[in-house]
Amino acid sequence: MTPKDPATAPVEFRSAGQADADRRFHFVLLPGFWMLSLVPALDTLVNANLLAGRTMYDWVLCSQDGQPVASTQGTPTPVDFGLDYCGTPTDIVIVAGTGVEQMDLSRLSVWLGRKVRGDVRVAGLGSAAFVMARANLLNDVPATMHWHYRDSFAETFPDVELSSRPYISEGNRLTSSGGVTSIDLFLDLIAQDHGVDFSIAVADSMNYQSVRQVQQSLRVDAPSSLRVTHPKLTPVLQTIEQNLEFPVPPSELAGLAGVSTRQLERLFRQYLGQTPKQYYMSARLRRAHFLLAQTQMSVMDVALACGFQSANHFAKCFRLEFGQTPAQMRRGKSAKA
């Protein structure tokens, strides 16, 4: 097998390719990974380099065998190298998503055993704590992961401390629950490397804090997960907001609340004035607005990251919510820049 040509990768995923970078990240993509975990992490590194005016961070995308890896959307993502051709990283980032607990990851575990030496940092995004635990990388280190896998993880690895925090950044073993929490994790890494002030400047350059405020102001009131305190609705609303890329079926949402699907609809109408389906759509569109304003993701990638399979359907729903299409919003943003 020969190394993959980085030039064949989409431009938004292409590595910086600078040998003099301060730190070199190896992103290891597993089948079924969440694109919404990967792209925010890469965008944060891109913005750090742009702000610094030099390549502080370099990266390559890897898979176990060097072949493209399908994300949850099913679209194959080209990689730069297979594990056998990867060089020496300063940081390894495992990006996982669905089905990781059933995967044969023996090749990756052996590779991690060879590469994780000294000061090499290892981060796991989404459900990647499974991989790290199997490779004995979470001994005496707390971890976090996506809510959907927490019960299974706790049963499989009862000795690993499972935190409820959105990300853990302690020492050289880092984990994130996925999605845009990747931004927070990588901003924390940047703060460790170059100071808090520079990390804040990177967040500002991404319009990260202000976009959070805009996202909350898209409705007159505060986010429903904070405003609604009904004990049966709280876990449902939190679950919706944490699973916009791969929406949770109504029956599972009702199960979280311990009620029937019909009872859940009544609760939503009573406390939110919407059905669960309508609320889920609004949450996905708010996240889409967030990503369009904050990242360089294409409109189609934003659509896929927020659970839309059709660009036309995404544009129609977005216009109904915000009075303009995603493309019109992007043009307006560029004109103001």
CATH number of the domain to which 314 belongs: 1.10.10.60
Triad 302, 292, 315: Cα angle to 5°: 60
Dihedral through CA 115, CA 133, CA 195, CA 17, nearest 10? 40
Answer yes or no: do 214 and 108 share one domain: no
Answer yes or no: do 160 and 64 share one domain: yes
Rounded distance between C-alpha atoms, residue 166 and residue 259, angstroms = 27
pLDDT of residue 122: 93
Domain-terminating residue out of 205, 231, 263: 205
Answer yes or no: do 304 and 244 share one domain: yes
Answer yes or no: do 311 and 327 share one domain: yes
Per-residue pLDDT, averaged over 269-292, amounts to 85
Amino acid in the structure at residue 109: S
Per-residue pLDDT, averaged over 230-254, amounts to 83
Per-residue pLDDT, averaged over 309-330, amounts to 90
pLDDT in tens, 68-98: 999 987 889 999 999 888 777 889 999 998 8
Answer yes or no: do 181 and 41 share one domain: yes
Pick the closest to residue 168 from 195, 137, 198, 199 (CA basis).
Answer: 137
- What's this model's pTM, rounded to 2 decimal places? 0.62
Q: Is position 24 within any domain?
A: yes
Rounded distance between C-alpha atoms, residue 303 and residue 320, angstroms = 15
Q: How many domains does the chain have?
A: 2
Rounded distance between C-alpha atoms, residue 108 and residue 325, angstroms = 42
pLDDT of residue 177: 85
- Judge contact between 260 and 268, C-beta under 8 A: no
Domain-terminating residue out of 176, 205, 234: 205
Answer yes or no: do 200 and 219 share one domain: no
Answer yes or no: do 164 and 252 share one domain: no
Answer yes or no: do 193 and 219 share one domain: no
Position 337 pLDDT exceeds 50: no
The token duo for 85 is 């051709």
Amino acid in the structure at residue 270: Q
Answer yes or no: do 196 and 277 share one domain: no
> How far is Cα of residue 308 from the mean position of the Cα atoms in its chain?
16
Answer yes or no: do 229 and 87 share one domain: no
For residue 39, what are the domain limits?
Answer: 6-205
Banded pLDDT at 264 (limits 50, 70, 90): very high
pLDDT of residue 25: 94
Per-residue pLDDT, averaged over 276-292, amounts to 86
Q: Is position 1 within any domain?
A: no
CB neighbour list of residue 256: distance below 8 Å, 6 or more residues apart: 235, 236, 239
CATH number of the domain to which 136 belongs: 3.40.50.880
Q: Is position 163 within any domain?
A: yes
Per-residue pLDDT, averaged over 180-190, amounts to 89
- Judge contact between 72 and 33, C-beta under 8 A: yes
Q: Is position 36 within any domain?
A: yes
Q: Phi, psi (5° rounding) for residue 173?
A: -125, 110
Rounded distance between C-alpha atoms, residue 29 and residue 65, angstroms = 11
Pick the closest to residue 283 from 193, 227, 218 (CA basis).
Answer: 218
pLDDT of residue 333: 56
Strands 69-70 and 76-77: antiparallel
Domain-terminating residue out of 139, 174, 205: 205
Position 104 pLDDT exceeds 50: yes
Answer yes or no: do 197 and 295 share one domain: no
- Judge contact between 206 and 183, C-beta under 8 A: yes
pLDDT of residue 12: 43
Q: What percent of the chain has pLDDT over 90?
A: 29
Average pLDDT taken over every residue of the chain: 81
Answer yes or no: do 22 and 115 share one domain: yes
- Judge contact between 80 and 15, C-beta under 8 A: yes
Pick the closest to residue 146 from 122, 173, 169, 176 (CA basis).
Answer: 176
Position 334 pLDDT exceeds 60: no
The token duo for 220 is 């007159």
